[in-house]
Structure 1
């Protein structure tokens, strides 16, 4: 392996929100390069009693190729403000990214920001008089001197048009999800006669078609019929999920989506599939938030409505979720480590953009 780092020596800054994933990535790269020393750069995330904060770097980063890792969805990070325990939200995590870039002060040779969950990605387009948070955030990083942004399964990749001159890579965890899925479900028969892929809505159809094509399966679609005369929590409530596709009776089904928020939609679809006599209902999502807790998923697992849920560790996973019998974690540290390793050596990551061939090889094995 040619270890000449044309972009400078590698430096990893894993903010508090991404510390666990950062340690795994560091371990992978150390093993890959047979390196004894850690690539992690020590940082302090300091909070004052009124809630203001700052980032302090504890070692030099001059001339280094720096990768800043931050999980803007990690709600477990806390600080004390006016004597009260306060949880960090996405806005505060993004502010910490900017503080880190500011602390670097232009001394790094190159700065790459890795936000697996893209900040404000659900506020990516304007409908009426409302903000364009994601576009503004990307432009702010560009102005601060960030040269590249890496993210996963962006809600709408077209948001990169806000920064047309900046390198923006939208990666997908498809291979790792499929690998974990077929490893865990050893008795699964992945063929058109026994299984199909389900898209939970029209927006996820492209993703479902891709999964179906690499697995050699048919695809079905649920259409969300909404009450457009009513707004609840900023959204039109779903009246009914209408199904379009072939018969699912006696079939294993895999529902694929980019994220699970409250999980209501997924559970409603799983219920509809069970009414149509589906055999096992599996769910695969890049990000799993479970914003309203796990009680409903526990109930639906116990009554046989769902069999398993697969999601990555690209955003925070609580210990309660990790230990749930129906949940399986997809570890993405090796994938991210490979990406960083290649970029640091100024090598192409084009082969990581399309997982079709490696998934086919995996299924053959």
Structure 2
């Protein structure tokens, strides 16, 4: 049975609970599902996220969820959501967004037939393992959702997928936006030649090497690696500062390069690599990341673009992107609403999503259609 055929699933009517942090993406997903099912009736369940003046909160559902297949969407990385606490405007952080997920599950009160949490950016994913006497936030959060009765968790490009070992009996799907990123890249960069003799894929560090190898293999390109030499005697903002980026790979002179990573935080590391590549006479430097936070603003990216050191940055709308960034010439947004709608549609119909876990075939078809 195809995605576009209409039928009532045996496992419950579909219900989407889209929290404030994920409103724009959630509405687009709802429109996609409505289009696929040939209906004008929204699947969104009206939800209120209420904050009291002392900062405490609650979630209220204005519609029944009894017997429904519920999908809760939350962007824990959205830093634009605010509330008033003691008369002051306060911004929600990841902890507060995660608390709202728990409040939502609590408001459902066990009445739903199945609860799936979709956190495109996995909560506390950067604190996924212990290196000493420190907390293990991501694992504890996943276990808490399991105890609350969540049956499935969907996320994208988890910083370390092995964190799912904390919940071995719970369904945990780690999806990747590779196809959508490459589709947008190929559509936008018509002058880029995806040829082994004219382009390379670059990994910004050893941790991103598996991702870079996958990109290079499906594109038929060589891969290069930058190794971060760090000063382990110093800790700044929780990290050892980078002393120098050492490059390993073939000559990049006259080549287009695509730097791939899971996230851009401050962007300092990836911009240093862009400078190194241009110093080695690379032609165009493209950057692709699943999540773009720009935690220290975008002035540095704007400056490097104006100086011709970077050509474009590609990132998804899986986490909040400010209007300033979306309108920038150097940035291209990759819309993931159709992909997520397909996943939700199939899961609600109790169909396999295995074909969406490996994008190799569709990427090869995309490249054939371009040539």
TM-score after normalising by structure 1:
1.00
**Which runs of 5 or more residues in structure 1 are unaligned?**
none
**Alignment partner, residue 20 of structure 1:** 24
Output the CA distance in 1 between the equivalents of 2:155 and 2:177.
Answer: 11
Answer yes or no: is 1:38 the counterpart of 2:42.
yes
Answer yes or no: is 1:57 the counterpart of 2:66.
no
Aligned mate of 1:268, from 259, 269, 272: 272
Answer yes or no: is 1:72 the counterpart of 2:88.
no
**TM-superposed deviation, 1:4:** 2.9
**Alignment partner, residue 307 of structure 2:** 303
**TM-superposed deviation, 1:233:** 1.1
Output the CA distance in 1 between the equivalents of 2:71 and 2:355.
Answer: 21
**Which runs of 5 or more residues in structure 2 are unaligned?**
none
Aligned mate of 2:92, from 71, 78, 88: 88
**Alignment partner, residue 221 of structure 1:** 225
Output the CA distance in 1 between the equivalents of 2:185 and 2:278.
Answer: 21
**TM-superposed deviation, 1:2:** 5.2
1:118 alignment partner, SS class = coil
Write out aligned runs for 1:1-365 (5 A): 1=5, 3-365=7-369
Output the CA distance in 2 between the equivalents of 1:2 and 1:323.
Answer: 38
- CA offsets per residue over residues 36-95 of structure 1, 9 Å max, x none? 100000000000000000000000000000000000000000000000000000000000
Output the CA distance in 2 between the equivalents of 1:316 and 1:262.
Answer: 15
RMSD: 0.5
2:283 alignment partner, SS class = coil
Output the CA distance in 1 between the equivalents of 2:216 and 2:93.
Answer: 35
Output the CA distance in 1 between the equivalents of 2:172 and 2:181.
Answer: 23
Output the CA distance in 2 between the equivalents of 1:35 and 1:346.
Answer: 20
**TM-superposed deviation, 1:3:** 1.2
Moved >3 Å (runs of 4+): none
Output the CA distance in 2 between the equivalents of 1:266 and 1:110.
Answer: 41
Output the CA distance in 2 between the equivalents of 1:278 and 1:187.
Answer: 15
Count of residue pairs brought into register by the alignment: 365
